[in-house]
Amino acid sequence: MKGSMKKLKPNLNLKITPFKIALIYIVLSSLWIVLSDALLSIISDNPLYLTRLQSFKGIFFITISAALVFYLTNKSVAQVKASKLALFESQEKYKKIFNAPTEAIFIHDAKTGEIIDLNNAAIKMFGYDLKEEMISIKVGCLSGNDIEISQPEALKKISLAAKKIPQQFEWFSQKKDGTTFFSEVSLKYADIAGKDCVVAIVRDITERKLDLEEKEKLAEQLHQSQKMEAIGQLAGGVAHDFNNMLNAIGGAAELIKLKKDNPEIIDKYTDLIIKSADKAGYLTKQLLTFARKTKKSTKKIDVAEVLKESVSLLKHTINKSVTIEVIKNASNTIISGDDHLIQSCFINLGINAEHAMPDGGSLTFKLKNVYLDQNYCDESNFNINSGKYLLISVEDSGHGIPKEIINNIFEPFFTTKEQGKGTGLGLSAVFGTVCEHGGAITVYSEPGKGSVFNIYLPVSEKLNISQKNISSPIKGSGTILFIDDEETIRKVGQLQMETLGYKVITAENGKAGIEVFKENKDIIDIIILDMIMPVMGGNETASKLREIDPYVPILISSGFSRDKNLDEIKKNTISGFLNKPFLLNELSVKISKALKDK
């Protein structure tokens, strides 16, 4: 009890106010008058002596009162000075704290959204000279978008923050001189000196954005570099099969010439030519699609279909002594991702497997649905979540991977191949693609027995893929302007279109095509335009045709297209795209649709 008791100390630092000084003076004066008069009546009743004592009493009272008033006033003044100093120090400390961050800080009126205060970093970040200059402007003026659009949106977010719903978002900001930058904004309610306010913290994230874009560019370059490495081997196999198809086409055409009087033989070899040409076109299209430089996209894709396309390419590419098999035991093969990147994975793993089997062997792709529980995900080296996955196993019967290097095979530029046989980017790109798709990849190998790569990709909901009905070519009428620099294509295309019922005018390049269109624009219903031509390319031609007639349907035709050209041509509002080689049915559908949408 004794130890726990604390001594109570009186508070000697009481605040002195004018009211307290007056009160103290009244109390002490009253006490002095009452007590001094009582004391004088006891001391003497001599009037003369009492008069003198009264004078001394008055002088003494004035002296004591003056001293007391001086003391109390002095103490009051000292307290005021101390309060002002404390307030000044507090304000200075607030200013230092307020201006210390590199982030811009704005204080907004919660009701109106007006800027009440801001720190030095805000002035510097937005390129203004004075605080007063920024306080007087609308918050929308700090946005890189049109103020008429951004002002209501900014006020809406401030209003939500004022309701104690914190806001965090990216914003396109603008400096005083008009230059723009990317920013991240945090808004939060605050009661400042009894006033409802919203505090905004703005960070310049332009550098972070640029770093992210640079990383994405490097990733795209890695994928493209790895892809081009694979193309070197793909091209050899494709060229071999392509020559076989050309041989079949040429041979069949010669036989038709020799058997002019036998319709059945002509039909038979015509079918062979069409089939071989279709197969050659499909193979070329596959190779061009694989080689094309595309930006990463995210969409629902069927891995089984992507694998089918990849195996088709591999069969034309790798050693014929390697047998390829696909075993599908999965009910759901739909994932969310990029089909080009996934195909690149399969091509790379297939080519790697072939290198491990120089004397031939077997390559097997297996698809299976599995469930990965939380324990597996926690123990995995990959950032994956528990759930349903598609397991793609790629097995080969090759010489296997030595234990001492198996942990290094996914590292960039790591390769055991001799110089000129590979860059070491293939498996690192596979690893990166799997990670980008929220999956995992493992490898098991035994020297002399082969290797198994297991890829786990999270599945999505199934797609409802409608089957296209194969119908007869659609007949039509009207006049077509067909612009192509290849004479054989112009002749064959003209015959195809005339067979469909159209009248055809041809031109050998874009410049000639424009002149023909100027002369015949009143009768031309649609234009089919090659994209890559001498004299004047497809993009420039399409632009000039649009100047003459903004509404005439234009179909772009090409066997190869660079993305930049396609993006540019799309600005000219084309009606469709024809991939070369095209057969009669596809041609008729594209023309019919373009005319219908006219």
User: What is the SS3 assignment for 45?
Assistant: coil
CATH of the domain at 191: 3.30.450.20
442 plus 510 within the same structural domain: no
The runs of H, that is alpha helices, within 44-146 are 47-99, 120-125, 131-135
- The pLDDT of residue 6 is 39
Nearest residue to 421 via CA among 291, 223, 230, 220: 230
- What tokens appear for 384 in the block? 């994956």
Beta bridge partners of 168: 186
- The pLDDT of residue 471 is 59
369 plus 283 within the same structural domain: yes
120 with 113: CB under 8 angstroms? no
* Domain annotation covers residue 465: no
* Domain annotation covers residue 302: yes
CATH of the domain at 545: 3.40.50.2300
* Domain annotation covers residue 430: yes
79 plus 148 within the same structural domain: no
Cβ within 8 Å of residue 126, ≥6 positions away: 104, 134, 142, 173, 174, 175, 176
Considering the entire predicted model, what is its pTM? 0.43
Cβ within 8 Å of residue 467, ≥6 positions away: none
65 plus 184 within the same structural domain: no
Q: What is the dihedral of CA 77, 79, 81, 84, to 10 degrees?
A: -140
Q: How many Å apart are CA 124 and CA 130, to the nearest integer?
A: 10
157 with 188: CB under 8 angstroms? no
Q: Which residues of 92-129 are buried (b: 16+ CB within 10 A; e: fewer)?
A: eeeeeebeeeebbbbbbebeebbbebbbebbbebbebe
548 plus 564 within the same structural domain: yes
- What tokens appear for 432 in the block? 């990166």
143 plus 85 within the same structural domain: no
422 plus 533 within the same structural domain: no
* CA 229 to centroid of chain Cα atoms: 27
DSSP for residue 530: E
503 with 480: CB under 8 angstroms? yes
- What tokens appear for 315 in the block? 């069969």
Domain boundary (136, 169, 204) is at: 204
493 plus 383 within the same structural domain: no
Domain boundary (149, 175, 204) is at: 204
∠ CA 417-434-390, rounded to 5°: 120
* Cα distances (Å, whole numbers) of residue 118 to 103, 136, 369: 11, 12, 57
- What tokens appear for 394 in the block? 């790629």
Given the DSSP bridges, would you call strands 479-483 and 299-302 parallel, antiparallel or unpaired?
A: unpaired
Cβ within 8 Å of residue 475, ≥6 positions away: 500, 501, 588
* Domain annotation covers residue 120: yes
∠ CA 429-435-439, rounded to 5°: 125
Please give the average pLDDT of every successive group of 10 residues along the chain, which has 598 residues. Answer: 40 59 73 70 66 69 73 73 68 67 89 89 89 84 75 88 89 87 91 89 84 63 55 54 62 67 71 66 55 60 90 80 92 88 84 87 94 87 88 92 80 52 59 86 88 93 51 86 87 87 93 94 93 85 90 83 52 74 84 86
Q: Which residues of 153-173 are buried (b: 16+ CB within 10 A; e: fewer)?
A: ebbebbbebbeeeebeeebeb
* Domain annotation covers residue 83: yes
* Cα distances (Å, whole numbers) of residue 414 to 363, 406, 498: 23, 11, 58
114 plus 89 within the same structural domain: no
* CA 386 to centroid of chain Cα atoms: 25
238 plus 320 within the same structural domain: yes
Provide the number of structural domains found in the chain.
Answer: 4
Beta bridge partners of 102: none
Cβ within 8 Å of residue 538, ≥6 positions away: 510, 529, 530, 531, 532, 556, 558, 565, 569
268 plus 142 within the same structural domain: no
Identity of the residue numbered 194:
G
Instruction: Give the DSSP H or E segment for 443.
Output: strand 440-446
135 plus 277 within the same structural domain: no
Domain containing residue 392 = 213-458
* Cα distances (Å, whole numbers) of residue 216 to 220, 221, 433, 444, 523: 6, 9, 12, 30, 49
